Structure 1
Amino acid sequence: MTLGFEVFPLAENLYKKFADDIPAIEAGAPNRFLQQVTPITASLLKHWFQTDYVDTRGPNFHVGQRDAILSIVYAHEVLATASLQELYAAVAPHAMLDGDVLNEVTLGRNRYPKYAAKMATGTGKTWVLNALLLWQYLNRSADPNDERFTSNFLIVAPGLIVYDRLLDSFLGKLRDETRDFETSDIYAQRTLFVPETYRSQVFGFLQSSVITKHDIGRKVTGSGMVAITNWHLLAGKEDPDFIDDDERSGTKIGAKELARRALPLSPGITTGNALDALDRRYLRGRPLESLKDLPDLLVFNDEAHHVHAIKKGEQTSEVEWQRSLIEIASTKGRRFTQIDFSATPYNETGSGRKRGKRYFPHIVVDFDMRSAMKHGLVKALALDKRKEVAALPLDFASERDEQLRVVGLSNGQRVMLRAGLKKLEILEEQFSKAGPDKHPKLLVVCEDTNVTPYVEGFLREQGYSDEDFLRVDSGKKAELGQQEWEPVRELLFDIDRHRQPKVVICVLMLREGFDVDNICVIVPLRSSQASILLEQTIGRGLRLMWRGDEAIEELKAETRSRITRRQEPRNYFDVLFVIEHPAFEAFYDELLGGELVGRVGDDGDGTRATGDLETVGLREGFEAYDFEIPFVLREADEELTAPLIDPLALPVSKYPLHDLLQIIGNGDRFSSIDAQTKTQFGDYRVDGGVMTATGYNDFLSRITTRIAEAHARAFVATSKQYNTISHFPMLLAYKPMILGWLDTYIRRRLFGCEFDPALGENWRVLLIDDVAQDMAGAVGSLLVEMQANTPIVVAEVMYRRVSEVSEITVRSTAGVDALKCVYPRLPIPSRGGGLERLFIEWADSDTHIEAFVKLHEYQHDFLRRPYLKADGMPAQYSPDFLVRTRHEIFVVETKAQSALSDENVARKKRSALAWVDQLNDLAPEQRGDREWNYVLLGETAVRSWHDKGARVSELLYNARLTAALPSAPTTLI
């Protein structure tokens, strides 16, 4: 049951009005949409969506975000309607005749511009909010008299978790109790959000005008404000740690309680029931009075399913804080605008068979979970239907005594938990091979806080340590107190980067704002059948875990396709497993229309989580096939020489090893604090175990990064000071060398004797902060001193090595073995990879070729070359191969024959030629005594020379291009 319609008429008809203009907007061609908006709006839409701009940057808006932005801009700016009723009249007049839509849109709460974006969890609602805020602010700055725009914004969060996330988004993350604006979303993604022309204006506005809920009504800003609050301020309540669900879920509220909430104060003779007293009490004081006094305001409701009316029988009433919004809007007319964002923009009505959904009437865009899954923007969904789960009786609720007190977990809950833990073990084992930094997690959702301690006890019974799970509920917070709770909260939101905890246990606290990527398994131990709660529970695990790897993206697309065809997935990349009770299967079919939901049974136990994807590391003796690539940083008369340190000449630690081993003892819990970022790492308990090679390598990697980026950063307070002291880019280029020195120093010199980190628990002494700082100081200070005091008269050059990328991913069905390469196996496209396969096999068999490598476009990103496209827009491309002979290094680009005449290919060629000519101007010893050349090969030439029995080295030499030799001899190709 819905509000009069199964589809959303505003969303459907709005899109039809501008759909034909989207290709022209993307192509930069004239179109009706851009002609009907202000010049500011036109410039923003071009910057956000035009292909010329999109191709020059990494992050971009996806199709769902694009449609949300265009729909709201078109409705508000082009149609310029002053109320929801006017919008229906302009877009979908016939829809007002359905059900009680006409009555709904004429109510007081809809007598101003009002829009709702229905966007699936994990699809980036906050980025849409950011874009719309910039659109409003820049237009208002350009024309203060245009009533469609404002520079006053109120952003409302449903609870403290989302509130904190919004503060991070607009003000930046907390660093030593100070927010670093450069980590805010809009600044960090400035190439996407803000055209360069407006950046100083926008950043100045945000840094001066964003205020927290505590400053609303107290802090005055000159050019407008961005006020961020949670809804409790509007409702006049103290901030609870967890959201009261009574009003938003449709639970019946007693008459007395309802009257207390609805009436601003009880009748009394002391106040005389004066209207101004009632109004002030109703608006809950200064913050809301100040919002009411503003001449204009745009309210963004994040997770807006908490805000709207609830229908009980024939009575419709607003939740308490929505009434405050109506009062704030009463002084502004059309200069008040409300934009709501929600994955579940509805309220549930009725119960049992009469249960239904009452959707918001102002939904102008519908990008649902089904669409998000089809586009690969969220994880695919799989229900784990093992036989042991399918055979459970309906005992998913916990065991209770006669007084309904929880006394333990039911047998069904225990089986579901075992299934979830088993699935987690499978993912952990196989994901570690594809991505050592990927740590899948299990989320257990309990019916109430009385159940969570029993889940903890069950995990301990299964052999899990306290560090393996994290309990997050109000009971746990009460146990710890605020001071001890804060580190738990920080760890919760940083779990993606840590192996532990593996399991998160919660009740309802983590429904909104818990935005982590690595939740891969969910076990819902709850009794509620409310679909809004089920959908939000799933939403916690939908965010993508794997991004950017071309081979993995191909496997993920294959998984989505197989699930759609009701086939078992062959890999588990970005699949969310729900260990679900059969009673709730119908919900998933309803949610996704029976599509994109896989059923994983016992037969699926043999499925490899990584499919046919293999992680290929460096081959033994890779140094013989490595490439050292020079980068000219400055063509000048001075150069900073490569650092050279003798680890055995460094000072011995002032901390005796024997004393340190006595201090650390056995089996204690340790944490290492990275002085550079204040990030806690290595937090685990060791019970007589030994340090793994991976753990020691991780320690070496972290301390090397700390030294190379800036030894003194731990002692500066701002990013500007850090930039001032970081003038030694060569240290970053020599990180592998520094790592090797550190390893030698630790093993042979640090403690004045031979030291084996892997022996017993020796490695733990390295995590002592004083030891780590002493070691970093000894190496880092010497490196900086050497770089600052060694001028010589040559160009300034930095070197990078192909082997810096120590692992690449290759599909077993789309890879080629190679002997003369740092990697024993190289990837090729699964479709259309015949030319690259031929080139690899041909080069590998040529005795004149010493080494070659197929570059990975994303991982070898330091080899991308800039160029200007034919339309004048800047872009980058990555060469296909590097090939080394005795006297030459060839930068090789392979192209289909039809692409050789393309103008952009010619421009890439000119950029590459300029690069190799610059390298050839270096002294021979700075480029390995080899000449650099660029080669552009068409498929016809490759196959012709190969079929005639020639060597690939001969083809490369004859086809080389330089400034002096602009094209290869036509008789040879």
Structure 2
Amino acid sequence: MQNPNQTSERGKRRISASPIVNTLREAVSDWRKKEYAGASETSKQLLHYWFEEEHPDFQYYFAQREAIETLIYLYEVERLRNFFDIWRKFDTSQKIDPRAAEEVCPRYVFKMATGSGKTKVMSLAIVWAYFHKLHEPESSLSKNFLLIAPNIIVFERLKSDFADGRIFNEDPLIPPSWKQDWNVRVLLQDEFSTANPDGNIYLTNIHRLYSREQDENDNPVADLLGPKPGNAIEISSRELLHQIISHSDLLVINDEAHHVHEEDLAWYQTIQNLDSQLKERGGAGLSAQLDFSATPRRQTGTLFPQVVVDYPLAEAIEDAIVKRPILPDEKSTKDFRETPTDNAAMRYKPWIDLGVSRWQKYHELLSKIGKKPLLFVMADNTAAAKEIQNYLEETYKDLAGKILEIHTKVNRSGEISESKSNLEYLKKLRDAARMVDSDANPYHAVVSVLMLREGWDVKNVTVIVGLRPYTAEANILPEQTIGRGLRRMDARNTNWQERVDVIGTPAFEEFIRQLEKEQVEFETDTMTEPPAYKVIYVEERKVEQYDITVPLLTPAITRESKNLANLAIEKLEKKVIKRKHYKENEVLNIIFIDALTKEKADEHAYRMEYSKNPEQVISFYTKIVLQQTRNTGQFSTLYPVMRDYVQNVLFGEQVDLSDKEVLKQLSEPNTQQAVYEVFSKAINDLTLVEQSVEGSGESLRASQANGFEWSGETYGGEKQIFNLVACESNFEARFAAFLDGADDVAAYVKNNRYVHFQTEYLSHKGGMRYYFPDFIVRAKDAMFVVETKGLEDLEVARKDERMKQWCKDASRASGQSWQYLKVLEDDFKRYQFKSFEDIVTFIGGK
């Protein structure tokens, strides 16, 4: 699950160093508000499914939404497929290097902070391109993808998401009604099989696409395709390349793509040559190149000109998508000095000891909820790393035998070598990359030289100790350094502002503070007190007396898709849309408003796009409705009813579905929404069936909840099983205190996603939703489900009725009395209840 609070547009934006990005943000925002005018039906349907539909326990971040929207807007709506056209459209104020416009295919660079979910955007782009190619007759995209990693560590991270199509099965990427059309094979380096004629994703390390030992003037693709004999890896690489260029088209996605953008690099040359090879074989070449990096910068610090999306670290920290980096305050380290000695551990002892002290505080706190925080020490060289490891092993018993010393062995080009002599070490790298974030991780600390640069994205790092003096020659950026510790331990829990303590020598801290130029605001800490957040966990001493048990019931509402066969046009609401008439070549105007001055900045006109294929339009309508009502496998049942309704009812008269004006009007959002509402209501009425509820024979125990972190308000309640009550408002804290002090309350629990008591209900739009009430209370003679309310919304009445019925069903199934209470904040303030029975009596008399 991802952060559920970040899908909507951010209010305040950080100004990007790229004028193109600043203008594009406004354009995409206006396009979003106009319901994606000018996009294809395929794009609209996917965008609606990803960002407008409710997905249980998952929602994309706004940064991810904006990134894929920007790609679709540029490629499909504006049809800007080379950098020069993008520059001319969105920013002519800056000079550009003419070479930036010399591209073999559309090329878009996405600057997204470490930990903000670049991989999710890659998967969105793959699904969009695949279905666009499948459904849009004139599509120039591809159903074949080459996903390139810069080294074995990044490869392993990507493999964990893409192997066996895992990300496409676990994330809400493919609309249910389209799943039968998704046929993509994921082929990994060394493990790939024959290509799938319907679609392929090739995942490989860049080194498999060229030989590092070749002369730099050689063609890195053609050489590998030649007859030159080689070892097993080189032979496998040739087979991989033969298979890749056997396709007529290909979309390339580069991860950690700051490696790509220097034209003398073999990576850049390899992509150029792939395009040439595809075309030489009669194919279309590369359909697009998507580059993802947190730091797409030249050595001078300037952004690559092709950047079209910029989600900076400062915004990711503010949005609580990544950890907040904390530095020691000046007083904490003012007396620290380097000791003049060749032993690195003794030289940097004050900083190392402080780092261990901070890790020990995190360990003491987080181990209570099963978390395994990591200390990450970055040394200057391998000899220093070994000295530091020895010092930690000998000095700290809690670290002895639990330190991973590991480095990325590199060849003369500065990359991880896959030579035969290095294979055993590569296996160690792979195993360590997989293990450090697992529940079985045996390590407490990692000591490394180059691992902090990229790819080693460890969620459990809570302390970074930097001892390495950085220079321009090192070619490492500040965000790459602290980026290894930015990923959150628990992306689900937005009520916890995670932090990573960054400790280091004055030279290291000066280097890190360069991020302040990018508007990153560092907080400081004395580094003496435990971290400010709290951990919530079950206290075993309380379980016997205060545990809460809830009977699990069979669902009250089920979906009977087979009932869709009874849908008849006579049963549908006659919502008539007035026919419109359009001028020939009518255009739509989009006005861009300057974010700062709020004045008109630009105006853009483009022709209204619409599908000229009536079958495609009716198919689109049908799939959207099936998607919204969560009915799969019913396309053939609904399609003829949809066609009949649109042709004979929607416009109040029979229309010719091939008429251009009818097709244009069917492409308008208002028309689409009217049809969706009519069909969704009718289908939900038919297929959502209430059924008799029985006890399942199982129960939910609050004591089964996992521990979690919390930065919000808490109350130290005694009559409940947790060490603290995690409250989402001050009213909830006051109500918990009331329950604790009420003599007629035996026990209670604050419900949350970890306790996970929920019940289904029908929303005001007729769809099935889930409801989590606030408290469960055990009184002397009955059980109570309690909702504490400050504000009312459209769903409250429906939730109330559903929970009242749940209590009746639970009472009948369990033989114990269950009742539902809704306590309003105004009533709680006004009447100053003395006992829980007072509340029950008051609400019962209302």
| 3-state SS, counterpart of residue 454 of structure 1 | helix
Task: Please point out which of 3, 20, 25 is paired with 2:30.
Answer: 20
Shift of the 492–6 alpha-carbon distance from structure 1 to 2, 3 Å rule, reads closer
Shift of the 806–130 alpha-carbon distance from structure 1 to 2, 3 Å rule, reads closer
Q: Residues 809 and 827 of structure 1 are in contact (CA less than 8 Å); yes or no, is this contact kept in structure 2?
A: no
Q: Would you say 1:337 and 2:283 are equivalent positions?
A: no
Q: Would you say 1:305 and 2:258 are equivalent positions?
A: yes
Output the CA distance in 2 between the equivalents of 1:621 and 1:523: 39
Q: Would you say 1:851 and 2:746 are equivalent positions?
A: yes
Output the CA distance in 1 between the equivalents of 2:43 and 2:479: 35
- Partner AA of 1:629 in structure 2: V
| 3-state SS, counterpart of residue 476 of structure 2 | helix
TM-score, normalised on structure 2? 0.72
Q: Would you say 1:229 and 2:204 are equivalent positions?
A: yes
Output the CA distance in 1 between the equivalents of 2:211 and 2:425: 28
Output the CA distance in 2 between the equivalents of 1:278 and 1:627: 65
**1:532 Cα deviation (Å)?**
2.8
Q: Residue 443 of structure 1 corresponds to which residue in structure 2? A: 376
Shift of the 301–795 alpha-carbon distance from structure 1 to 2, 3 Å rule, reads closer
Q: What are the residue-to-residue correspondences of 1:828-847 with 2, within 5 Å?
A: 828-829=727-728, 833-834=730-731, 836-837=732-733, 839-847=735-743
| 3-state SS, counterpart of residue 504 of structure 2 | coil
Q: Residue 360 of structure 2 corresponds to which residue in structure 1? A: 425
Output the CA distance in 1 between the equivalents of 2:334 and 2:830: 61
**1:520 Cα deviation (Å)?**
1.4
Task: Please point out which of 261, 264, 267 is paired with 2:216.
Answer: 261
Q: What are the residue-to-residue correspondences of 1:142-291 with 2, within 5 Å?
A: 142-147=135-140, 149-172=141-164, 184-189=166-171, 192-202=172-182, 205-206=183-184, 209-214=185-190, 219-237=194-212, 260-264=215-219, 287-288=240-241, 290-291=243-244
**1:620 Cα deviation (Å)?**
4.4
| 3-state SS, counterpart of residue 115 of structure 1 | strand
- Partner AA of 2:442 in structure 1: Q
Question: What is the Cα-based RMSD across aligned positions, in Å?
Answer: 3.7
Output the CA distance in 1 between the equivalents of 2:704 and 2:481: 40
Output the CA distance in 1 between the equivalents of 2:796 and 2:393: 61
Shift of the 824–851 alpha-carbon distance from structure 1 to 2, 3 Å rule, reads farther
Q: Residues 376 and 446 of structure 2 are in contact (CA less than 8 Å); yes or no, is this contact kept in structure 1?
A: yes
Shift of the 386–874 alpha-carbon distance from structure 1 to 2, 3 Å rule, reads same
Output the CA distance in 1 between the equivalents of 2:450 and 2:754: 39
| 3-state SS, counterpart of residue 485 of structure 2 | coil
Output the CA distance in 1 between the equivalents of 2:716 and 2:391: 48
Bigger relative contact order, structure 1 or 2, given CA contacts below 8 A and separation 6+? Answer: 2
Output the CA distance in 2 between the equivalents of 1:93 and 1:78: 20
Output the CA distance in 2 between the equivalents of 1:375 and 1:276: 46
| 3-state SS, counterpart of residue 851 of structure 1 | strand
Q: Residue 380 of structure 1 corresponds to which residue in structure 2? A: 324
Shift of the 624–466 alpha-carbon distance from structure 1 to 2, 3 Å rule, reads closer
Superimposed CA distance per residue, residues 109-157 of structure 1 (whole angstroms, 9 cap, x where no aligned partner): x24210000011111110100000000001111135422x210111110
Q: Would you say 1:589 and 2:599 are equivalent positions?
A: no
Shift of the 859–7 alpha-carbon distance from structure 1 to 2, 3 Å rule, reads same
Output the CA distance in 2 between the equivalents of 1:586 and 1:518: 25
Question: How many equivalent pairs are there?
Answer: 672
**1:32 Cα deviation (Å)?**
4.8
Q: Residue 138 of structure 1 corresponds to which residue in structure 2? A: 131
Q: Residues 714 and 733 of structure 2 are in contact (CA less than 8 Å); yes or no, is this contact kept in structure 1?
A: no
Output the CA distance in 2 between the equivalents of 1:487 and 1:916: 55
Q: Residue 321 of structure 1 corresponds to which residue in structure 2? A: 267
Q: Residue 394 of structure 2 corresponds to which residue in structure 1? A: 461
Q: Residue 931 of structure 1 corresponds to which residue in structure 2? A: 817
- Partner AA of 1:262 in structure 2: N
Shift of the 479–414 alpha-carbon distance from structure 1 to 2, 3 Å rule, reads farther
Output the CA distance in 2 between the equivalents of 1:342 and 1:427: 30
- Partner AA of 2:403 in structure 1: F
Q: Residues 136 and 150 of structure 1 are in contact (CA less than 8 Å); yes or no, is this contact kept in structure 2?
A: yes
Q: Residues 810 and 825 of structure 1 are in contact (CA less than 8 Å); yes or no, is this contact kept in structure 2?
A: no
Q: Residues 305 and 342 of structure 1 are in contact (CA less than 8 Å); yes or no, is this contact kept in structure 2?
A: yes
**1:607 Cα deviation (Å)?**
2.5
Q: Residue 434 of structure 2 corresponds to which residue in structure 1? A: 493
Q: What are the residue-to-residue correspondences of 1:2-41 with 2, within 5 Å?
A: 7-22=17-32, 24=33, 31-33=34-36, 35-41=37-43
Superimposed CA distance per residue, residues 875-898 of structure 1 (whole angstroms, 9 cap, x where no aligned partner): 2221122233444322221222x5
Shift of the 853–807 alpha-carbon distance from structure 1 to 2, 3 Å rule, reads farther
- Partner AA of 1:412 in structure 2: R
Shift of the 85–473 alpha-carbon distance from structure 1 to 2, 3 Å rule, reads same
| 3-state SS, counterpart of residue 579 of structure 1 | strand
**1:94 Cα deviation (Å)?**
3.8
Select the structure that is richer in helix. 1
Q: Residues 853 and 882 of structure 1 are in contact (CA less than 8 Å); yes or no, is this contact kept in structure 2?
A: yes
| 3-state SS, counterpart of residue 298 of structure 2 | strand
Q: Residue 609 of structure 1 corresponds to which residue in structure 2? A: 531
Output the CA distance in 2 between the equivalents of 1:508 and 1:878: 46
Output the CA distance in 2 between the equivalents of 1:41 and 1:634: 35
Q: What are the residue-to-residue correspondences of 1:366-765 with 2, within 5 Å?
A: 366-384=310-328, 390=334, 399=342, 408-409=343-344, 411-432=346-367, 435-464=368-397, 466-473=400-407, 486=427, 489-496=430-437, 497-498=439-440, 500-509=442-451, 511-530=453-472, 532-549=476-493, 552-553=495-496, 556=497, 574-593=498-517, 595-598=519-522, 600=524, 604-611=526-533, 613=534, 615=536, 617-618=538-539, 620=541, 622-633=543-554
- Partner AA of 2:18 in structure 1: F
Q: Would you say 1:86 and 2:85 are equivalent positions?
A: yes
Output the CA distance in 1 between the equivalents of 2:784 and 2:345: 67
Output the CA distance in 2 between the equivalents of 1:599 and 1:903: 41
Task: Please point out which of 777, 789, 797 is paired with 2:697.
Answer: 797
Superimposed CA distance per residue, residues 433-486 of structure 1 (whole angstroms, 9 cap, x where no aligned partner): xx4312221112223333322222222332456522011136799999856974
TM-score, normalised on structure 1? 0.63
Output the CA distance in 1 between the equivalents of 2:751 and 2:239: 58
Structure 2 runs not aligned, ≥5 long: 1-14, 229-233, 411-416, 557-693
Shift of the 383–822 alpha-carbon distance from structure 1 to 2, 3 Å rule, reads closer
- Partner AA of 2:22 in structure 1: E
Q: Residues 633 and 798 of structure 1 are in contact (CA less than 8 Å); yes or no, is this contact kept in structure 2?
A: no
Superimposed CA distance per residue, residues 540-591 of structure 1 (whole angstroms, 9 cap, x where no aligned partner): 11111244446x52xx2xxxxxxxxxxxxxxxxx222222221244433332
Identity %: 24
- Partner AA of 1:19 in structure 2: S
Output the CA distance in 1 between the equivalents of 2:285 and 2:479: 34
Output the CA distance in 1 between the equivalents of 2:511 and 2:98: 31
Shift of the 957–297 alpha-carbon distance from structure 1 to 2, 3 Å rule, reads same
Q: Residue 645 of structure 2 corresponds to which residue in structure 1? A: none
- Partner AA of 2:160 in structure 1: D
Q: Residues 458 and 487 of structure 2 are in contact (CA less than 8 Å); yes or no, is this contact kept in structure 1?
A: yes
- Partner AA of 1:870 in structure 2: H
**1:807 Cα deviation (Å)?**
6.0
Shift of the 165–883 alpha-carbon distance from structure 1 to 2, 3 Å rule, reads closer
Output the CA distance in 2 between the equivalents of 1:278 and 1:858: 53
Q: Residues 150 and 205 of structure 2 are in contact (CA less than 8 Å); yes or no, is this contact kept in structure 1?
A: yes
Q: Residue 51 of structure 2 corresponds to which residue in structure 1? A: 49
Output the CA distance in 2 between the equivalents of 1:67 and 1:144: 26
**1:231 Cα deviation (Å)?**
0.9
